[in-house]
Structure 1
Amino acid sequence: MARRSSKTFRVIIGIIVAIVGLTLLVLLIGVIVDKVTQPSIKRAGDEALEYLTNLKRDEPGNAWDFYSLAIEKSRDIKSDKILSRYLNGNIEVTQEIMKTILDNLEIIEKIMEGARQEFYSYPYEYEKGAEAELPDYMSLRKAVSVTCAKAFYDLENGRTDASLNGLFSVMIVGKHIASGAPMLIDQMIGIVIVDKALKVLEIGISSGTFNDSQLESIAEFLVDLEKHWPLLSTALDGDSKTMKISFAKSQKGYSSLFFGSESESKFIRVFVFRFICWRHFFSPKLSFLRGFKYMEDYISELKEIEEESMKWEKRAEAKKREDELQEKIKVYCKRNLLFGFVIPNVFSMHRRKLEYITKIRMLHLSSEISSFRLESGRFPQSLEEIAKYLVVDFNTGKVWEYTNYEDSVTIFSPGPDISDKKDDISITLTGLGIKQYLAKRRKPHKK
């Protein structure tokens, strides 16, 4: 009995020694590979920092100087929910909305003055990597909401030139934000800002409020807006560079970036952190270095897909490539689990951008149809009566769905995902004029 107990004890001790030995071996191999890999990580971080720093401009004429003042003054504005209902055309202007507009005319002026500047450059502290402080986008959204509300009020009261000036200014703000720094968050916020102005612009076009000269200006502006909108792949590359900077800063292991400072991390966490990098010799640094190299191919292929996605003759092929790329990324993330935690999934963002471009092209087409109505006294019977280069919806590769009801017309697109009804986009054009149009639009929302 004593011998059996002694044998069991030796087995247990052997197992413990083996586990400890394996743990130490994992840590030792990982530390050695980390040391060998660190110079490459640091070099990648230094190159990324140099690239991003060169994008910053510190000179007069920076739109940020004006947007920052608008942001500072917008922090005291209460929730913009009621403004959103007004901008959607659901409610009439209220005393509260008018007070918000009148109390914040200085903010509106700063937004419009910023939009008139030659360039936009936000002073990101790129040396902080992914921890760099973002602009106060919540306050900026409030500022542009107030600006859009003023533009909508001008539209309702026949001041169409002033309204367009305000709406164009807001869209320039969105373009500035999206293209001023190569970051995914900036580009998505830019779309949100532009979308606020597009909603008001849609109401103006749908009601038949604008004259021929204004419609021509709208068409030209929308073409320019789409033409100079940055690629998501550029923003993804920027995010990749900020991550490189963050990882290059960490001279120790990377568990601190996920679990807090390493001194506070439990030993088991550090071990598990290394163990999931077994494909990369238990080295998180090698795991990320390989991941960043993979991202270069990912970004390059995404760029090609983006450029093809908005060409109707290549949309189907681009969608197929997008699905294949998405699947390849899933497979890679299973092989490189650690990098899979941080690699951004831009496909939902890409869909959002395609939806945004669809809206811009639909409004462009709507402005052309409205111009035709002013010249001919009627809506076109079919889209073939107007400029042919406008009539194809890149989402389907076919002519936009167009229905003529004589006194109004409807343009429809199934959006980027044809199988999802939530992606459906449509606009109905009338000649009612702004007052009658809004009265009909607001009627269902009255209590």
Structure 2
Amino acid sequence: MLPCTTIEGNTVDEHKSPYTDFGGSCNLHKYPYAPLNTDISVGELPTIEGNDVLLKCTADGVPTPTYDWTQNGVELSDRNKYQINEDGSELTILSITKHEREYYNCTATNEKGTDATGVFIDVYYEPQTGWPLCEVHVETNENYIAEGDFAELTCKATGGNPPPHLEWYNNSEALPECTSTTDDNGDVTETVSCWTLTPYDNGKMYECKGKHDVTEETPNCFNEEFDVKFAPLSVWLTGYTDTARKGDRLELSCVTDSSNPASTISWYKNDQLITDDDHEEIQDEDVRDGSFHGNVTEGVPPSEPDGCTTSLTGYSAPVVEGDDLVLTCTSCSGNPTPIIEWFEDEHKIETGLGDISNSPGVYHGEITVQDLTLHLTYQHHGQRVRCESFNEEFRMENDRVISNELILDVHSDTYAERPPSESSNS
């Protein structure tokens, strides 16, 4: 038999229809049957916490079924929370909460029997108030945070369906993740960024941003400002050009790269610590802002005059006519190498000069030493002998360093042995 259309307009199949055929292909009559094809339709799912949710239940059956609603097998009796229409086919859940994220069952009933079905109502809701929460852990061997320590920034949220998305940012740039997890119960979601601290991190506050499907807002939190200790990467000594002249005031500046805390400066000369004295003065340090929220330190000392005098040695009065008197002139340390000149009274001595020798002196200069040999006669008595040192940079008279002056006391034999002219002059 072909399918027929009932007076209700429904197309039925004689092999599946709860109708009786009395001889005509469409002369069908109903007879009672239990509910079947029970179905629940819901508006938009998942729904958002706080919304009203309408559930509609339908079923086939003769006579027309009535409907009952349960939640996980428990009858819905709170009429302030649940509204049910007269035949029970519609259930409205008022201002649904996350605790009502459950299975709901509809049972269709008539005199011939029952049929039931269920639906899970998924409720989207935000994490607990105050999310996200920022935490910082730094692995350090000191009681402070320093360059090279390992830092972990944890951003977490409790609750939320679906779990929120959490991400760390440096301004608009996302930080790399170490881990991102949600526990098995979906209760706690956290993301961790981790790295080795550098001076760049000093003074930094990194931001964790949260995103969730139920809100367009972007809640956030920040770590406490990092106070990362770091040393200066370099130190510069400035103020010196190619050469400097004795007597000049030479100001040297020592400038550090940025550091946290601000660097202190100590001055050394030939590995000896310089302190304030008559020749050297350490000026106050100047500290100013540097890169990475650190500080730049600058200190300035003047140079030191050597305070040395050219010396003339080898004479012990009196001396005797006929002896050879060897005098030694020793310069102070100089750069370039000092030159020595000898004088009797105001006359330059050109003879009797020994070889010149040089040796290392202070301040990385050189010392010059030269001997003068005088074959003593009575004529040397009372003469004034001195030596002077200078170098190519200091040739002027006021640049010369003059030795102590020797007045020769020469003991001699009788004057009778001298030429008469010389005796009379004496």
TM above 0.5, yes or no, is: no
Looking at secondary structure, tell me which structure has more helix per residue: 1
Looking at secondary structure, tell me which structure has more strand per residue: 2
Task: Using CA pairs under 8 Å that are at least 6 residues apart, name the structure with larger relative contact order, 1 or 2.
Answer: 1
TM range (shorter): under 0.3
TM-score between both structures, scaled by the size of structure 2: 0.22
- Say which one has the larger Rg: 2
